[in-house]
Every structure is written in C-alpha cells, then in structure tokens.
C-alpha cells in the first residue's frame, strides 16, 4: 500500500519516505545477505538469498485491515519491514538456547552443554545436522567433528556408520578403498536410508551399534599400531583439503568417541533459514519484537 501511494505521488513526502526506507532495506539487510553469501561466516546460501529477497520484495511495512484491528500489531518508527524480520529472527535465535536448557532438563539430560546442544543416539547421526560437543575427556562447547564431514568420510570409504563403528579393523588405513567414492558435500540424502554413504545394505543394523571400551578410547591404545588411524589424513589429502574445517586429529577423535559411546551431545544444527521464516511470520502478525520490548521499557 505504501509503495502504491508513493508511485502515485512522485516528488511528495510519501514518495521520498518510501524511497529512503527501500534504500535502507536493500543496502543494510540486502547488503548483509550479499556479504554472508560471499564471505564464509557460517551462513548458508539459502539464508543469504532469503535475506536479499526479503529486502527487495518487502522493504516497507505492509498493512492488513481486519475486523476491528490492523496487522502487524507493532510497527516501528522507521517502518523498514525487512529490518524487523531480521531482528525478529535474531531474537528468536537467541531464545533457542533457553528452549534447549528447559527441554534437556525435563528429559533429565544434565550437562555443561545442555543449553547449546542435544543428546542423540549414535545410530541417528547419519540423519542429524550439526557437530559433536564431545571429545575423549567429555563434553566441549566447540571444535567437535562436523557431522557433514563425517558423512563425507563415510561416503568416501563406501561404508555406513554402523559398519564403520562395529568393525575395529576399519581403524587400519590399509582397509581404505583403492578407488574412493565421491564424498559429496556431506548433506543428508533425502529418501536414502543409507545417508552415511554405504553402497550396500548395512551388515550391522543401525540399532545394533555397540559402544567400545571407554578406557580403551581414552588411552588411545586402539590406534597405537597405525600411523594414520581411520585413514583420516589420507581422506583429507584425497579430497584436497579440509572438510568443513575438520583436521585429521578432529576426525580421528570424533570417530573414537562415536565408537566408544551409545549416545553423544551435538549442536542442533538449526539453519538460520528456519528462524528467519519464523521471524517473517511474527513480523507479519505481531510486528517488531525488539521495538515492543524497548517500548515496554520506555526506551522508545
């Protein structure tokens, strides 16, 4: 509506206000999306493109006149709608750790990482996103094995995670394939039960993954006989570098941890696109959450 009125009043205040708000939307929000697309800072391509699309298609506030009220309920003074969507998404993203904390506490999963992670069975990892929050010594806040890198490794070897963890002999780099498979990008393969890369049905059902001896994994005795346990260095050399920042040591330690435990802590791996979508829905209905909070505090 604002854009329509501006087009029919060129040179008027409404037109200048619409042009300014559109410029702020495209330059700030769209610029951030373009920056995140070019610079690898943890944003996916879909997240960045969505930001750019919102900044161009929804630069100013819409208005929906219903029976007795108007949506969005809480607009902002500057009325840049794309900025509202972005701030809503960031606030919802910051609230997610509180949800994890409460959910883990209710399920009796108490750990130092309960506000940033969730505990899942090792057998479910081929279908999960995120990274490990555990090492040989226990839980850790960051730096664990990326699950996309784990899937890349399994696909490169042509084995399922279940087979890999149930056969201690596969620690031997001599068991690596002479002609490795394409590791792909490590994404979860839709519609494929063997998303971890097995080329034949697993000889060990995912529910039958058994943990090893925790003392063995802590001492590292299982890897002492090999120069390159699990063939981690060979894998990274063959694919021409790092897999999502994974080093040979990180891959080895992650596989050792998975072989020793039945369940592990991982980051949720929720794409920003999800919170961005929720932020868009909230913006269309309620409006600007940050502006409402600041208003309640008497700051605006």
Task: Verify that 227 and 243 share a domain, yes or no.
Answer: yes
Q: How far is CA 278 from its chain centroid?
A: 15
Q: Is residue 104 part of a domain?
A: no
Q: What is the pLDDT of residue 10?
A: 60
How does residue 140 score in pLDDT terms, banded at 50, 70 and 90?
confident
Task: Verify that 61 and 145 share a domain, yes or no.
Answer: no
Task: Verify that 28 and 70 share a domain, yes or no.
Answer: yes
Q: Is residue 28 part of a domain?
A: yes
Task: Verify that 205 and 221 share a domain, yes or no.
Answer: yes
Secondary structure (3-state) at 21: helix
Q: Whole domain around residue 212: which residue ranges?
A: 118-266
Q: Is residue 231 part of a domain?
A: yes
Q: What is the pLDDT of residue 132?
A: 94
How does residue 170 score in pLDDT terms, banded at 50, 70 and 90?
very high
List, as one string, the DSSP characters of 28-51.
Answer: IIIHHHHHHHHS-SS--HHHHHHH
Q: What is the pLDDT of residue 241?
A: 74
Task: Verify that 125 and 230 share a domain, yes or no.
Answer: yes
Q: Which of 41-45, 91-95, 199-203 has the highest mean pLDDT?
A: 91-95
Arithmetic mean of pLDDT, 75-95 = 92
Secondary structure (3-state) at 86: helix
Q: How many domains does the chain have?
A: 2
* pTM, to two decimals: 0.73
Task: Verify that 150 and 252 share a domain, yes or no.
Answer: yes
Task: Verify that 155 and 230 share a domain, yes or no.
Answer: yes
Arithmetic mean of pLDDT, 32-47 = 80
Q: Is residue 40 part of a domain?
A: yes
The angle that helices 81-106 and 272-285 make with each other, rounded to 10 degrees, is: 120
Secondary structure (3-state) at 69: strand
Strand partners, 74: 287
Q: Is 72 within 8 Å of 80 (Cβ atoms)?
A: no
């Amino acid at each position: 509506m604002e854009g329509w009125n501006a087009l029919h009043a060129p040179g008027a205040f409404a037109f200048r206000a619409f042009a300014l708000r559109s410029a702020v939307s495209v330059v700030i929000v769209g610029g951030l999306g373009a920056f995140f697309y070019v610079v690898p800072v943890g944003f996916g391509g879909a997240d960045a493109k969505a930001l750019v699309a919102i900044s161009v298609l929804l630069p100013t506030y819409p208005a929906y006149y219903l029976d007795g009220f108007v949506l969005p309920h809480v607009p902002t003074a500057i009325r840049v709608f794309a900025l509202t969507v972005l701030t809503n998404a960031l606030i919802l993203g910051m609230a997610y750790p509180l949800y994890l904390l409460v959910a883990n506490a209710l399920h009796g999963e108490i750990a130092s990482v309960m506000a940033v992670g969730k505990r899942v069975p090792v057998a479910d990892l081929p279908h999960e996103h995120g990274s490990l929050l555990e090492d040989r010594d226990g839980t850790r806040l960051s730096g664990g094995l990326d699950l996309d890198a784990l899937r890349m490794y399994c696909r490169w070897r042509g084995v399922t995670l279940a087979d890999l963890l149930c056969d201690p002999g596969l620690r031997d780099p001599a068991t690596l394939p002479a002609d490795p498979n394409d590791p792909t990008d490590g994404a979860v393969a839709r519609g494929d039960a063997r998303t971890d890369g097995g080329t034949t049905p697993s000889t060990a059902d995912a529910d039958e993954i058994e943990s090893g001896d925790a003392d063995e994994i802590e001492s590292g005795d299982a890897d002492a006989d090999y120069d390159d346990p699990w063939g981690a260095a060979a894998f990274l050399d063959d694919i021409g570098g790092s897999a999502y920042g994974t080093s040979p040591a990180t891959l080895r330690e992650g596989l050792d941890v998975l072989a020793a435990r039945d369940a592990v802590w991982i980051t949720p791996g929720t794409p920003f696109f999800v919170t961005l979508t929720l932020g868009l829905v909230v913006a269309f209905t309620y409006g600007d959450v940050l502006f409402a909070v600041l208003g309640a505090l008497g700051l605006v």
